[in-house]
Structure 1
């Protein structure tokens, strides 16, 4: 996220999970379905591999597995002295991953023109890293808008002017603090029919924007597309703990959510917004997004609501009759929070953002109230189960991230309690944030 999360109360010391630190992150290209010709490289933005573990030691590696460029899964392997990392991990991938048939090559030229919006606040070093990756995209026609949100210095403006303005990157100012307000300023500044959003703490795969926007050309009803978010580094226990519980990833199978055909296995649809994707990797068709009012400025990181801006937009798009598509082919590498204190704030923000989003939906779209009330009992039960399940691991395993969502290490009870406290706080935070932005029009209104 492009804003630092405040601490949520006094946190205990980091649990005894030091053994989870120091996992290398890599990309593994299988070359062929049997793993012959496999090649391995460090993840973009991640530290280079060591020369190799010393005799008697081992190195753990978390690898994104690709088959002819297409992401198909992740593996976690242990590399010992003398091992060839590519061969070891390729053999593991062939055994563990149900490899799909290769897809036909997509036509990059069909990707619609796009505007990429990056909201940021006082993090020029991270922003530069993100912009370098965005300028390396293989998309045929796009622009980049940097939204400088409530800045305290001129660092962001100076960076864009000195290093990126001559390459077409635009800098715009949004004085109202909050991620949603910054995104709305980006909507106002955009000139494309497809608007992509990412954060200043990611590195985008070179094919990211093409994969994220091509579906809009194939489906004129489509309102939103989200993509895969993977860890750029797993250097600290806090980073590895988060990723072992799924991180921000939504898996390696594409999924289309159509309000005209609600998924039978999703009884809470469309209020299960967290399943659809995350704000660090999302794109919208500009017309429908503007039609629903964009993002609610009383939600999002940087406001008392603490989050929920992306969830709110997903539900509003779906409630407006537009399908949402998740594609794992659109990849960004996210720099997870490194400190235990930051992870505590993040856990609290998860809960607060969810209920702040639900409150925003009721305030902005009262017609959704009957549907929400009908689903609310099961929704609260689901939320409680979701946070409680992280606190235990039935298998009693200790490890590192494997298949996303397998809970390879118990989620500390303190973090579960913080999530629940956040759930209670969310509506209060939303009301506080809304009072501070009441009456302010969307930036594009009246243009």
Structure 2
């Protein structure tokens, strides 16, 4: 079973303090670029939801309003299917239990201005969750319903199944799944076995696992971790702890992905950097060589790039590099490998293309660049490119790169703005 949310872009803020409301609204819009619709009473909120309720992905609610002093706005908003966090001046155990029982997504005590930082992070988390899949594996339908209900309140895409075999099938079909929550005590394949099977296919840096159980105490926790789980939670659990564990594990996967992306991307242009290109191109080279498929190694250089920097400044040069990188990504990024090799030099590994196809693609690129004017502020910049192309796998990828680089050198010294290709062997 699976659930997801439609596209919603706004935050509903209900807060009768003009100072606090303005500060929260401004921070969310400034830090996240997310629109905030702000009301100050239950009556205003009802009218706004009637008009725009379908646009809100979450709400931030003050539980003490002039026309709703006892938190009536919470029931009103939740009844419309809008996930909600509540603001309160103070919180007691009874109030906490009451609001968690309504399946709010969080509560925030307005005890310092620093709480706004937490609110901004919470909004960012809930917004991001709409693209993240979570698999719940438990042979108890009651337990599955409880966890899926909590996860849906946080807008995760939820998949729930009753056994390990079904979970493994889910993972192959739904790459959006970043977290698996699995019970221990299940027939045929228990939680430990499932965890070990998942770890054979998915490492901890791409998929998190939280083990859960109502039996076994600390020994179950240790066995889950040793089997490859990232975390463990005893049943029955408190909703607040469940959300904390889920968010922590999802954020760890995101952090690792961000680090990997920063390591693989060129900071200026956003396309792959030289190191990542070599990793990808080596794999592609080996496949093409083994299968005897045609390919091409391409080195491209922006002509007289130093003149652009000297005449217009490095900011304009950077804009030229970024524009050209995006052009390469748009034209070649889906089917081939593209990278910034360094400075004003770029590389492409063309997969499964003939000599004629490669030349046509690259000459069309050269012609497009030479005829195009790039808007930079109030001016229009124009430049040309030179291209060297080596065909068909040689002894090594390094050999192809060196040949392409030598051919680029020939293109530069024979007049620039041209494609020079490796000659066919006789």
Normalised to the residue count of structure 2, the TM-score between the two structures is: 0.23
Determine which structure has greater relative contact order: mean sequence separation of CA pairs < 8 Å that are 6+ residues apart, divided by chain length. 1
Normalised to the residue count of structure 1, the TM-score between the two structures is: 0.23
Structure with the larger helix share = 2
**Max radius of gyration: which structure?**
2
